[in-house]
Homo-oligomer: A and B are copies of this chain.
Amino acid sequence: MARAKEFDREVVLERAMEFFWAQGYEAASMRELLDTMDIGRQSLYDTFGDKHSLFLASLQHYYEKGMRTVVAQLAAPDGGLSAIEEYFDGMARRMSTKPYRSCLLINSAIELAPHDPEVAAIVNRFVKKLRKGFAKALEVAQSKGEARIDDIDAVAWHLTNSAMGLGPMSKARVPYKDLKLVSEQILKNIRA
């Protein structure tokens, strides 16, 4: 062993993620990233590889730390309608507060997915899991008698689509007051 790193990998990765989230991939320059992450140039390249690899790590980190548990709660066996309600209200709240930076996965889908297979793979995995989460929550709601749904698959897709819509709405600075209406309307539509 020799000299130890002076920074915590996860801490600086978090900073990179925040910056990509706010700026987008192309618009974030390495110089700015270095400033934001507050580490040396070589340290970054040694630890994360090139810009693209750093972005993939950031995106993965975003999913793991920001969305994984949220999506998992949708599929909780005691969730049902309330899980869906919490998902949308939480998202609406997050999306319509100060930085209005949408969701990194949605942003990446728009900016990079068509020309970047690795980003596309992460995004597709997310969409799949989200849809599955909604489907599970609907099944639970169904069995609890909270809702009467004839085509769970269709409704799950519809909820997924609605979740995606919050991204552009956030970037267009639609205020919480209106996103709350959206969230409530979604719930009304599936209540028995």
Residues of A within 8 A of B (CB): 22-24, 26-27, 100-102, 106-107, 109-111, 113-115, 120, 123-124, 127, 151, 153-155, 157-158, 160-169, 171-174, 178-179, 181-182, 184-186, 189
A37 to chain B, nearest CB (A): 20
Docked-complex contact A24 and B27, CB < 8 angstroms: no
Shortest Cβ gap from A117 to chain B (Å): 11
Tell me whether B153 and A181 are in contact (CB under 8 A): yes
Bound-state Cα–Cα, A23 to B114, Å: 9
A158 contacts across to B, CB distance below 8 A? 162, 181-182, 185-186, 189
Most B CB atoms within 10 A — which of A23, A124, A169? A169
Name the residue on B nearest A177 (C-beta): B157
Give the contacting residue for A163; candidates B22, B24, B165; CB below 8 A.
B165
Which of A22, A182, A184, A186 has the most C-beta atoms of chain B within 10 angstroms of its own C-beta?
A182
